[in-house]
Chain A
Amino acid sequence: MLQSELTIETPAPGITQFDGLSRIARQLAAGFNLDNTLKSIFVEAMAFSRADGGNISLYSESKDNFVPNHSVGGIPPETIIAPIIREAIDNQAPVIHKRLDLGRQLGSILVTPIINDGFVSGLITLYSRKPYQFGEPGTNYVAALADLASAAIVNAQLYRDTLQRERFYASLGRVTLAINATVNLPTLLTLVCKESLELFDVDGAFIWQKEDDKLIGIAAEGHARDDFIGTRVRCSDDKNLAATAANKGYGVYSNNIEQDQRFIRHFPWQARVKASLAIPLGKDEELLGVLQLVDTSRNGRFGFSDVEQATYFGAQVAIAIQNAQLLTDMSELNEQLDLRVAERTHALGEERDRVQYLLRVTSELAASLDQDRVLVRALELVNEIVNATHGSILLVDTMTGELIYPAAFETHKLPPLPRVDLGIKPEEGLAGWIIKYRSAIIIDDTSNDDRWIAQPENSELKSVMAVPLIANDEVIGVLTLFHRESHAFTQEQLELVEAAASQVANAISNSHLYILIRDQAERLGNMLREEHLEAAKNQAILESIADGVLVTDATGTVILANLSAGQILEIPHDQLNGKPVNELLGLYAATGENWIHTVEEWAHSTRREGQPQFLAERLTMEDKFVSVRLSPVFASGQFIGTVSIFRDVTQAVEVDRMKSEFVSTVSHELRTPMTSIKGYAELMIMGAAGEMSDAQKQYLDVIVGNADRMSELINDLLDISRIESGKTTLELQPVNLSQIVAQVVGEHLQGLISHEDKPIQVSTEISPTLPMVNADPDRVTQILTNLLDNAFQYTPTNGKISVTTRANGSFVTISVSDTGVGISQENQAKVFDRFFRVENSEIQQVPGTGLGLAIVRSLVEMHGGTIDVESTLGQGSTFTFTLPCVSEN
């Protein structure tokens, strides 16, 4: 409308033109008859331009061409006007040719496009046989008329669409209600098809159902409906319209399906179909099928709005189908559930009976350990299920391997037959078969089963049920039930008997075990009594001794401790038992570590007899000292534990300590008077109190010499008391022995020789490859000095002293030999004791304290070495001691 108003204003038209336009505009407003309006426009255009012929044509989508709506007179042939029309369409503007060459004459032509939304939807073609016919006013007027035609086309289209939509949605609402009310799926599908015919004004409606990767025709109405049912096509077939729609997930149509190259896959029922539209029902995974509409009368039947409406409808249909399916599934499920509940209830009832029965078998059989009673009761219980006429239990004799017949019954003849030994071999007959194959069987008729050995006394038995008795995976017997009639037993009974049989087997096995344990217990009881007596005796001895005895097993756990051990260690002795020995560590602080570690080390290493046999240690507790001697215990060469003997040595240690203290104090107190005696004597010798006579000097020398001897004695006493009280510590370092030997021999010994004027032949023999020793050099000097002092004193003039050293494994051996008086065998053991001096008239004059060798031995042992003496009276002595080499790491 707006377009036409503008056009009317622009050319400033004359009265005639204005009348024409307003008339047509009124007609346009009054109604929607497109044909009439177009006709009026064309007539007005012809009249105004005084054309001789022409037409008004509209674009037909189906023909893809302009089709005349009204024509008057003739127009030049197609060949001449086609380019002109093309030009008008392409430019979307009127084209005028005032000198149109028509061969023998000239004419005029005006082609005016009717434009809708940028597309040429129609043409007004005017022709005159005279040239220069259409002037500018005419052209403009026709253009205005073309605008009116455009408006009329839009209106008509709008009107038609609105009307159609209104009709469609009214119908759709009704149809949707109807299909949603339908819960039966086949009825629903038929209804959908039926309603589709009317709704979309088509000849045929089909529904494909998706099944796996196929579409299957299941409902149809209208055209070829019976042929359609059962048609199949693959979903992936892109040459089929319905499959394509299913595959793409949106509506697809073809308006000329017979010639459409996209969809060449046809079915017989598709003959005569001109246009077809397919809409998927549901989407993607939930695709239910396809709704296909066909029209057999018109090509170009379907357009975009059809797809839109069908899609909408399809969605409703899909929901309705889903609902119907859901309902169907639900009711099926309900029925199934009811059925299963009923079945389960029944099964549970049976199971309960079974379980109750088996529980009774178990509890009744478990109550008795007496085998005969177990067997009889087992048969009675089992027969409650099967109602056999005869029954028996055969057991495998564990000693002979043969079968014995300990229990049987015959109906109404209980109590059972006595236990008899049948001498049946386990591989024979039915019982043999059962034992071999370990499985239960039913023989419905004994007369035709090879496993059954017929005998006079069992000829009346027709049905047999036999079940193995298995306990701990071993067949211990066979339970057999018989009936006089054939086919007397059922498979269900067999299953229950099998279950009961496993309980019976367990009960039999338990009663076997019971007998075994009872006998064992009796035997052990006797043994225990005897051992108890023996142990009581040993215990009495152990408890009565004053030394603590503590025994560990091979893992270092205390297994025995006597009363004294508890008292000495100050732990209640019953609490010691079972304790790992390392838990006692805290009691003795560092002093106990060696003991405990040795116990543990022995426990953790594989020990053999012949390795170091014991460890002697002293433990220090808060207020007492305990000596412990630890020995390994072996049984047939195997380390089985340790024995520790404890002795409380507190008193001895205390006495020792007091003695050391006493010696220390006395020695010190002795030094003060000694200082005066020696000092004043020397002062007088020096002449500080005036000139001395030779005799006076000689007497004073004796005083000084004895004062020196006394000082030496005091020093030795202090030394030994310090060593014995543990106050002396070694400053260990790598020591070159040859140096020390050279120094002591060269300075000290030679000094003595020259000082005393007593010639003695001295030789030293030192291995050139002597390793360094780990020692305190001052103490080594002291040891050597002492030994050489002794050698010097006891060796007569012109005697020999030799010192030899040599490596000996991880030790160095040092020997000091002399050609002195020697020591008797008897005295050799005592020379290292304190204050021991050999009683010998020949050596009365030898001064000494009697402490030298005791100190030497203590110092050597502190280094971890040993000292020995070898001697022959009158020939000389050799003192040999060892010192450890510096270890390589």
Chain B
Amino acid sequence: MERILIAEDEPDIRELIRLALQFNGFEVISASDGAEAVELASNNSFDLIMLDVRMPRLTGYEACRQLREMEATKEIPIIFLSAKGQEAEVDEGLEAGADRYILKPFAPFELANEIKQILAERGT
């Protein structure tokens, strides 16, 4: 079972993602901010990490940059899930090292499909 780490400060949305992914057969670990996400990722192994952009303590961008610098996490696929959809914001996320940038609001089943696709690409 693939393990997915999600970082999201908004509890409702964190729960929504967790439910949607679990429903689609993924194991989900949650973090409520960027710093916690980095800490969890460095001590555990994940198949994919999903980051919100605007989070307390450590923003999604910064967390993504740190993950990309660490040996253990630099190859793990990262998805941004954000309400910030301006071009500059999307660009910054991709430059920080993310594989996808998905805009809120999102359809949960589409999100699950997206993750499956990324993991399938990685698997081959």
Contact = CB atoms under 8 A, between A and B. Distances in A.
A671 B13 contact: no
B16 A707 contact: no
B107 A678 contact: yes
A718 B108 contact: no
Interface string B21-64: 00100000000000000000000000000000000000000000
Nearest to A677: B105
Contacts of A672: 10, 13, 83, 104
Interface stretch (A237-245, A586-594, A680-688): A680-688
B12 A676 contact: yes
B19 A683 contact: yes
A196 B94 CA distance: 127
A683 B84 contact: no
A412 to B, nearest CB: 110
Given A668-B83, A672-B10, A686 B105 contact: no
Contacts of B83: 668, 671-672, 675
A679 B20 contact: yes
B20 A671 contact: no
Interface string A765-778: 00000000000000
Interface in B79-124: 83-86, 104-109
A711 interface: yes
Nearest to B112: A686
Is chain A's interface secondary structure helix, strand, loop, or mixed overall? Answer: helix
A675 B83 CA distance: 9
A680 B23 CA distance: 13
A679 B23 contact: no
A682 B112 CA distance: 12
A722 interface: yes
A683 B13 contact: no
B20 A688 contact: yes
A707 B107 CA distance: 11
Nearest to B110: A682
A682 B108 contact: yes
A668 B13 CA distance: 15
A682 B109 contact: yes
A674 interface: yes
Contacts of A682: 107-109
A675 B105 contact: yes
Given A668-B84, A683-B20, A676 B13 contact: yes
Contacts of A678: 105-107
Nearest to A687: B23
Contacts of A688: 19-20, 23, 108
Contact of B13 (A679, A686, A722): A679
A686 B109 contact: yes
Contacts of B104: 671-672, 674-675
A683 B105 contact: no
B74 to A, nearest CB: 29
Contact of A707 (B17, B19, B105, B108): B105
Contacts of A707: 105
Interface in A799-828: none
A165 to B, nearest CB: 121
Nearest to A728: B87
Contacts of B105: 671, 674-675, 677-679, 707, 711
Nearest to A664: B86
Contacts of B10: 672, 676
Which of A674, A679, A718: most chain B Cβ within 10 A?
A: A679
A718 B88 CA distance: 14
Contacts of A668: 83-84
Interface in A672-714: 672, 674-680, 682-683, 686, 688, 707, 711
Contacts of B13: 672, 675-676, 679
A537 B50 CA distance: 74
Nearest to A704: B107
Contacts of A677: 105
Contacts of A674: 104-105
Given A686-B23, A688-B19, A688-B23, 6 more contacts: A668-B84, A674-B104, A675-B106, A679-B17, A682-B107, A686-B109
Interface of B: 10, 12-13, 16-17, 19-20, 23, 83-86, 104-109
19 contacts: A668-B83, A671-B83, A672-B13, A675-B83, A675-B104, A675-B105, A676-B12, A678-B105, A678-B106, A679-B16, A679-B106, A680-B16, A682-B108, A688-B23, A688-B108, A707-B105, A711-B105, A718-B85, A718-B86
Interface of A: 668, 671-672, 674-680, 682-683, 686, 688, 707, 711, 715, 718, 722
